[in-house]
Structure 1
Amino acid sequence: MRIPPYGPLISLVALCAFEPAAQGYELYNEDEGATVLNADLWAGLGWFSSARNYIGDPQREPGRMRWQEGFAKYGVSGATDKLDAGSIYGGFSLISTASWGDGDPGGISAGDESRTAVEEAYLGWRSGELIPALGKDGVDFSFGRQIVSVNGFLITDDGFAPGRAFSPIEGVADGRFNRGGAYYLGPRLAFGHSAVLKLGGEQGLHGSLIWLKSDNPGQSKTEVAAATLDYTTPIGSIGSTYVRGLDVDERYAFGERLERKGLETYSLRGQGNAGIEHADFAFEVARQEKRSGSQRAMFFDAGYTFADAPWQPTVSYRYARYSEGWDFMFQGGYRRRYQGEVAVNYAASVTWNMQINDVLFSVRPTDKLTLNAMFFNYHQLSDRDSQDASAREVDLFLDWRVTDSITLSPLIGFYKPRKGFGDGGLQSGSAATNTYLQFIVWVNY
């Protein structure tokens, strides 16, 4: 059985940083921000085309597929520090998603999904100056439906959004994993249940204790506990993460997810400029312990921005490696850097049994326009169900912030697998280069 890819967690929705983090439209402001209430809107609309598909169905050759996705997240958020001790903050939002057309070329969505549901409903408290030894807001506790991210690549969000066509359990194709469309855009980021305690602020020694329970069938409704410990200085930070699987809903479990209960993951990570102005370094090494044995994953990246040169060019390199039985969990892009378009989202899972080298080059002609080029080399480490996922990919894309609230993101990608369908690969027709196109409009108020 082929285990489908989980690439939406690493899509441009993360890379471009157009998450629902804008200040929103101010509805109420008392005493110069002591109490505020904002109306928030985050939306996206995308058009997609792929000359080949990866469904493994000879009847769909040569495989061209065209589809559209859209979403709108709308709600309110606010905070007040007019308390005797600390401040309270919270938010509530709904999200509407839909897909149209042929469905995506990975066979995850059918192109006729839609849904409106509660996205966020959370409440939090920050300590302010109440505990001087921990610094300002040295205690931050929140709970409810909310987006939770941990530095590094083990927990980014709960953004995997399969559609009606997703059927990873053999013989089961009843739509039980459907989250209502927008598979690529992946805007349903909040965990269904959470409690997060952060201690120590953002500098010096600080850490967190986290409980998460996903209500996402595509994540087998996994429940985990996690802890982090970091030491942060002006030139960078070093830290560690521990994640333990507490439970999984076996009605939705498949593949490596069947071992999530009791699974333990440990990691050591770091990021910063190491005292070199305009440089950027990061790494993480992780180990998983589960019933079938130990698994490992790691990445390292290094980059530099030529800040005094015209258009401020940036060059960076990243190396990543996953062992054969690595469980992706809630992992996302490495510090919001995605791992390709066709390979990750549609053609094959590259988050286990894979070694990846990639290079990024970007320039900024203006403050509102960024041009990007990325090259990826995917090398499968060992045979996997007689399917070879080795490939190369080139993606050219730009981010144009037309206004403070509207951004356009066109992309063209070229994906060349080592093998095609019928020859140990998944690409329809042959191993010829696939041309992939997308155009996305982001709106954020």
Structure 2
Amino acid sequence: MNAELGAGFGWFGSTRNYLGDPQKAPGSMRWQEGYAKYGLNGSTDKLIAGSVYGGFSLLSSGTWGDGDTGAITAGNERRTAVEDAFLGWRSGDLVPALGQDGVDFSFGRQLVTVDGFLITDDGFNPGNAFSPIEGVRDGRFNRGGAFYLGQRLAFGNTAVLKLGGKDGLHGSLIWLKSDNPGQSKTEVAAATVDYTTPLGSIGSTYVRGLDVEERYAFGDRLERKGMNIYSLRGQGNAGIESADFAFEVARQEKRSGSQRAMFFDAGYTFADVKWQPTVSYRYSRYSEGWDFLFQGGFRKRYQGEIATNYAGSVTSNMRINDVLLSVRPTDTLTLNAMAFDYHQLSRKQERDFSAREVDLFLDWMVTDNITLSPLIGFYKPEKWLGNGGLQSGSASTNTYMQFIVWVTF
């Protein structure tokens, strides 16, 4: 049995806001976020028939100050609640045909991630300011703040069966029930099949929308019930040492019609060069009515700090090009620069979120337990609140800053 403790605290500031309130201009805002996760996890030694594992944890979170610049939190959120509560069983060598631990079944409240970008986690953490239903200001979507740090990742209830281990042919059957009001408490079933070799993997995901809670439904969320999603994906180095490739193409079938989304990225690390620079490029595209479901960053790579978190939708009706440059002066310090170009596909919508963004940030592991992550970002929209965009004051460049301290034990 192992004790788990993780915490983070961040200071944030933005010279512009995206509240959609013409009275708050130019809209400079300052706020803070924090969380602490604490609990136990572990597994049994090998039993006669496999091994049992599980975990239980609590998570406390809050937001202070003005609330975030995207009208998600108000600065008065506080919450402590169960985060993880799950049990699982692995088969060990009980089923030789499926390999070591070729059967893995778990259930309960836990983080579930599917390769690709359809199901990353349940990490959307709105607060009291989030009110997507007109006339509703009762805090029903409040999940405890800490929107950016976003460590409430576990789905409320799950059942996951994995078959075949991690190499060769393998797959999974998944049932997820979110207890997140910001996700309309969506329930889905999913199946995956993958084939993995030393060169990489190719796979497919199918997701079926089972239900949503109407009390929390907004936008096109009611269409999640009965929705079907099909995707083909892959990742690996294709036999090129120090290279990295990934792609996914997906199609949604829902009552209003078919929607499509895709991404492709390619990267290379110059392992023999000083500081081991990494360069990568990513292209992504979403059709006008694409539903982002439980999507996070592509392979934990954000689609822009300001655009993704605060400045409007970048996961529907959008084409995005971005470039990453990363260097490692030491084993404990990584310097990163990212540049994004967002182009809205259809201009029929009420708001135009076309923009450009540059983010400069570093990750410095000060000790084995403490990491510092400062960031500065610059966001230049084509439109502002006065002429069809969302940014307050004007369409001039917004400067955004954050400083986060991460602690793990």
- TM-score, scaled relative to structure 1: 0.91
Superposed CA offset, 1:335-386 (max 9, x none): 1111101111000010000000000000000000000000000000002532
State yes or no: 1:84 paired with 2:84: no
Query: 1:90-141 CA deviation, whole Å, 9 max, x = no partner?
Result: 0000000000000011101001100000000000000000000000000000
Letter in 2 for 1:181: G
Matched, 1:258 2:242: no
Q: 2:146 aligns with which of 159, 182, 187?
A: 182
Corresponding position of 1:374: 338
Find out whether 1:269 has 2:233 as its counterpart. Answer: yes
SS in 2 for 1:192: strand
Residue of 202, 206, 225 corresponding to 1:238: 202
Find the partner of 1:360 among 314, 324, 329. Answer: 324
CA distance in 1, matches of 2:180, 2:385: 31
SS in 1 for 2:221: helix
Aligned to 2:347: 383
Structure 1 residues not aligned, in runs of 5+: 1-36
What CA deviation, in whole Å up to 9, does each residue of 1:129-162 have, x standing for no partner?
Answer: 0000000000000000000000000000000000
User: After TM superposition, where is structure 1 displaced by more than 3 Å over at least 4 residues in a row?
Assistant: none
Q: Which among 94, 112, 121 is matched to residue 76 of structure 2? A: 112
Residue 332 (structure 1) shift: 1.0
Instruction: Identify the match of residue 249 of structure 2 among 285, 292, 299.
Output: 285
Matched, 1:72 2:31: no
Looking at structure 2, the residues matched to 301 and 319 of structure 1 have their Cα atoms a distance apart, in angstroms, of: 6
Rounded to whole Å, the distance in 2 between the matches of 1:378 and 1:303 is: 20
Q: What is the rounded CA distance, in whole Å, between the counterparts of 1:60 and 1:66 in structure 2?
A: 14
* 8 Å Cα contact 2:18-2:392 kept in structure 1: yes
After TM superposition, list the pairs within 5 Å mapping 1:164-243 onto structure 2.
164-243=128-207
Shift of 1:83: 1.5
The one-letter amino acid of 1:332's match is G
Q: Find 1:310's aligned residue among 266, 269, 274.
A: 274
**Whole-angstrom distance in 2 between the partners of 1:158 and 1:146:** 10
The amino acid across from 1:280 in the alignment is D
Secondary structure of the residue that 1:103 maps to in structure 2? Answer: coil
Contact 2:46-2:92 within 8 A present in 1 as well: no
Contact 2:199 2:238 in 1 (8 A): yes
CA distance in 1, matches of 2:389, 2:313: 12
Whole-angstrom distance in 2 between the partners of 1:138 and 1:266: 25
CA apart distance, 1:40: 0.2
- Alignment of 1:44 with 2:8, yes or no, is yes
What is aligned with 1:8? none
TM-score by length of 2: 0.99
Deviations 1:246-286 (A, max 9, x none): 00000000112110000000000000000000000000000
- Cα distance in 1 between the residues matched to 2:7 and 2:236: 32
Secondary structure in 2 aligned to 1:251? helix
What's 2:370 paired with? 406
Identity of aligned residues (%): 80
The residue aligned with 1:330 is 294
Q: Which amino acid aligns with 1:255?
A: G
Distance 2:403 2:190 in 1: 37
For residue 405 of structure 2, what is the aligned residue in structure 1?
A: 441
- Aligned mates of 1:132, 1:406 — CA distance in 2: 42
The residue matched to 1:42 in structure 2 has which SS?
A: strand
1:5 aligned residue: none
Contiguous gaps of at least 5 residues in structure 2: none
CA distance in 2, matches of 1:84, 1:421: 65
Distance, in Å, in 2 between the alignment partners of 1:373 and 1:43 is 25
